Structure 1
Amino acid sequence: LGAAETLRGPQAQADANAYRTWHKTDPFGAPPGKYLVDASGLAVWLVDPGINGAFKTRADGTEVRKFDAPKATLMSYIIKGMLDRKLPWGLVLFGVMIAFVLELCGVSSLAFAVGAYLPISSSAPIFVGGLVRWLLDRRLRRSARARQLDEARLAAESDQSPGVLLASGYIAGGAIAGIVIAFVAGVLGRLDARITKWAEASNPFFGGPHADWLALIPFAALAGFLYLTGRRARRLPLP
């Protein structure tokens, strides 16, 4: 057993006892994870992580926000499989063969793999970004034919487009925003609860059947701004 710990969060108000930590690795009897064990050796609490946690409801019935990290989950499966020597090599080799066939067909195996393991909530924005890039490249290709550019210069001009820089900023901004949201929800729980309560009372788009419009409207604006920015392609000087 590990060091002694106490509960943290809202449940700590009802239980101030100190428990020893126990990391369960096998899936038999109970899900693997970190448990808090009392003096008699009985597992009393399951410490469900805030990222990739399995339970969204506490023992008292209150809801708790969980965050998903599909890429980290995939890497954890690979690392655990290698350390425990239980990596499903059959599935790994099957994926290798699929990637080999895709490359022979002229399809990017990396893009296919990313779309395969990411949930639809993450792959849909990526698809929209790829659609914007396709529209911009199509427009740039028509302009390149008029300017008599070869494929190498066309690819260079496309990669140096302001839209590529803006898309990179979108990725960095999304990562920073995710960290800020997780920090507010995990550390500043009371502030997060007040913001949620205010939004439920003041914002008609926060909940209900029209809640998705709250995210769809700014997302469409960002996609449109990305397209307009990408149209101002940087033109390389002709030789």
Structure 2
Amino acid sequence: MDILLSRRAAGDVEQMDHPDCDPRLLDNTYRQFGIINRVLSGWRRLYTRELRNLKRPDRGPLTVLDIGCGGGDLAVMLARWAARDGMTVQITGIDPDPRAAGFARRRPPVPGVEFRQAHSGELVREGAAFDVVISNHMLHHLGSEELRQLLADSEILASRKALHNDLVRSPTAFALFSVAALPFLHSFIRQDGLTSIRRSYRPAELAAAAPPGWSVERSSAFHQVLTYRRG
């Protein structure tokens, strides 16, 4: 590995992406994502900045699509924040992986949240539309054609904005996460998290990979948001 992380390790594969990975470790990973995302992903800041003040002209629920929702913790977290703020939301979490979708559907029901095993392209073909499309720590998993298709689908599905939150590759992020993830035992959190950082983009790389109309916005020292805004 290049210790300076000067190049993306695009060919590396995370353990949880292997179809034959240990199901117990995978379930533990989905479970521990709730802590990781609450503490490290920066979504509280994104929610406050990008979602909390959005209003629909018809006063209906704000509709959000979480693509690649994994174990579903982000959708639940956003719904609970919105409820405390008096917002009405309808969040749909989708993931094409049956293991992730199954874990998410086994969660205790939360008002305003539903999960499906589906690909974003299926929702496009259904003619679905949402106020906001989001994803978390997913872009680095995708090949170039998969990224292109995700962004094309997002432009169709999002009536107001799309926010794809992902890691920024850096030696500092790698070193800090290597230590911070030590307590997360019996899961793929630490190993896959370090692989994720190696696979992630730097801002200029992500901007170059995105089509016109998309912009890269830094949300924290170690996160960036690939953003599409209508109007």
Q: Same fold (TM over 0.5)?
A: no
Structure with greater helix percent:
1
Max Rg structure: 1
Using the size of structure 2 for normalisation, the TM-score is 0.24
